[in-house]
Structure 1
């Protein structure tokens, strides 16, 4: 069931507008994402101020949510700058967010080691990135499947024109 309740008082009025319209229409993020032809997690990220919608996305969101296009453009238009990560406190207090934090605390170095073994010295991009959440039926209780799909970015060991040295850093 959709709800106008938000987990943070620090969300912008624009985010509250989106969340209230979502609740009023009784829509899920999945339904909204299908309507605007975008990934579900990205769609939710827009509602929490963590992703930037295009003009086309805003037009589709306005249509789906019954919101004024000009109001959306004035809130999320080209001038809008996303402040990623500012909705968090560390460690998180919400139980779901804390479990995700705990996963990284417990398995973070294991992920890092496995990435190094399988790909080499580098990182997983959070920019060239896809993520999803799915429900997997299980006789012992349904499971939450979170997929993190990021491009591997190797660390560079060379500068333009040669190898990195103390002198050319």
Structure 2
């Protein structure tokens, strides 16, 4: 059986081969951009109808379409500390600002956490005279601890 990781690699190859952008794929699947990208890279199960549509668009095999539908092992990176520079910078941001984020969440909301399940995310390019800015919005529901 083809794994979700192998299928994610096949999706990337097909995306390149077919000259598609993630935005074009998301539009064709009628799904949000970030969800589409994460799902096709193996981080979400894909509903059957969407998996079939993605398979047709990306010329995937039946096994790959089936793999899209499987439950993922989320957050499974190849190494404990990511080495890809883009991913590593997010790791670095959390190393530097994680305690600050935690303190501010507790101060403003109380004892609890931000959900990564009831969660939305957006990535935007913002022009700036000193160089374009990357704006990443992480939007998770607050979950209070229950004692």
Same fold, judged at TM 0.5 (above): yes
Cα displacement (A) at 1:76: 2.7
Separation in 2 of the partners of 1:73 and 1:145?
32
Separation in 1 of the partners of 2:102 and 2:36?
28
Cα displacement (A) at 1:47: 2.8
- Are 1:67 and 2:60 counterparts? yes
Consecutive unaligned residues in structure 2, runs of 5 or more: none
Cα displacement (A) at 1:89: 1.4
Separation in 1 of the partners of 2:40 and 2:77?
12
Residue matched to 2:112 = 122
Residue matched to 2:45 = 52
Partner of 1:150, secondary structure, is: strand
Partner of 2:125, secondary structure, is: strand
Separation in 2 of the partners of 1:118 and 1:37?
36
Calculate the aligned-residue CA RMSD, in Å: 1.8
- Structure number with the higher helix fraction is 2
Q: What is the TM-score with the length of structure 1 in the denominator? A: 0.78
Deviations 1:13-44 (A, max 9, x none): 22222122111111111111121122222212
Higher RCO structure (Cα 8 Å, ≥6 apart): 2
Separation in 2 of the partners of 1:100 and 1:89?
14
Cα pair 2:43 2:73 within 8 Å, conserved:
yes
Separation in 2 of the partners of 1:91 and 1:73?
30
Cα displacement (A) at 1:11: 6.8
Cα pair 1:58 1:72 within 8 Å, conserved:
no
Separation in 2 of the partners of 1:88 and 1:50?
14
Partner of 2:20, secondary structure, is: coil
Between Structure 1 and Structure 2, how many residues are aligned?
Answer: 145
Consecutive unaligned residues in structure 1, runs of 5 or more: 1-9, 158-169
Residue matched to 2:101 = 111
Residue matched to 1:3 = none
What are the residue-to-residue correspondences of 1:1-169 with 2, within 5 Å?
Answer: 12-68=5-61, 70-77=62-69, 80-157=70-147
Structure 2 vs 1, CA of residues 47 and 122 (structure 1 numbering), >3 Å: closer, same or farther? same
Q: What is the TM-score with the length of structure 2 in the denominator? A: 0.89
